[in-house]
Amino acid sequence: MNIVEPSIDEYLNKTLPVGDALLREMQRYGESCEFPMVGPQVGRLLYVLARSIGATRVLELGSGFGYSAMWFARALGANGRIVLTERSKENAKQARGYFQRARLLDHVQIEVGNALDIIGQLPGLFDVIFNDVDKPQYPCILDLARPKLRLGGLFISDNMLWHGTVLDKSRKADVRGVKELTRALLAAPDFVTTILPVRDGVAVALKIA
């Protein structure tokens, strides 16, 4: 199911500036191997959100080969730092190569393993936490992320419409995971959340207490 009418989606993609050569290369790589990634529309959204709150510390839960992290890194400025978590050693190696080419490797910390295990071991608070782990893990994420996010920080989750399957009565673990995180975010007294129907749905939750 297309969340956005295909012709509108095509129009939006065509209106985007040609942009950064390395990001275009990363996008082509992801498309060539059918690797799920946020794409340029959501990438620009992540950039805008990070810049809008003056973020300097970002944590990604599930980073793939670093496409979304590259957008964040470009938004953080000279003093910024982003922590990537990725289960696949090969994906992490690719991400490291891209950041080295972008001359941003000094601003990146790459942790290989399960993001749910890693998050509690990281010191300090983050301005933005971006959630893109396996969907059956979504119900666990909010309680793990909450104490690691500063007041006024953003908890952003991808795939919150999960190809339209949120409309189904499916009891599959991935669909259930997305729905349970949606309910938890909207019921949380310490967050104000909106879900944007961009690409596959992006939840943006502002920590207010």
Dihedral sign from CA coordinates of 47, 41, 68, 176:
positive
Structure tokens at 153: 């920080």
Task: Judge whether residue 5 has pLDDT over 90.
Answer: no
Give buried/exposed letters for 1-39 (b at 16+ CB in 10 A, else e): eeebeeeebeeeeeeeeeebeebeebbeebeeeeeebbb
3-state SS, residue 96: helix
Cα separation, 33 vs 165, in Å, equals 23
**How long, in residues, is the chain?**
209
List alpha helices for 53-149, DSSP H. 67-76, 89-101, 115-118, 138-145
User: pLDDT tens digits, residue range 186-196?
Assistant: 999 999 999 99
Task: Judge whether residue 89 has pLDDT over 70.
Answer: yes
Q: What is the mean pLDDT of the chain?
A: 94
Count of alpha carbons within 13 angstroms of residue 192, beta-carbon side: 5
- Hey, what amino acid is at 112? V
Predicted local confidence at residue 1, as pLDDT: 62
Domains of the chain, first to last: 6-207 (3.40.50.150)
Cα–Cα distances in Å, from 82 out to 11, 144, 183?
32, 18, 28
Task: Judge whether residue 18 has pLDDT over 80.
Answer: no
User: pLDDT tens digits, residue range 30-72?
Assistant: 999 989 889 999 999 999 999 999 999 999 999 999 999 999 9
Under 8 Å between Cβ of 35 and 63: no
Structure tokens at 108: 């990146």
Predicted TM-score (pTM) of the model is: 0.95
Predicted local confidence at residue 93, as pLDDT: 96
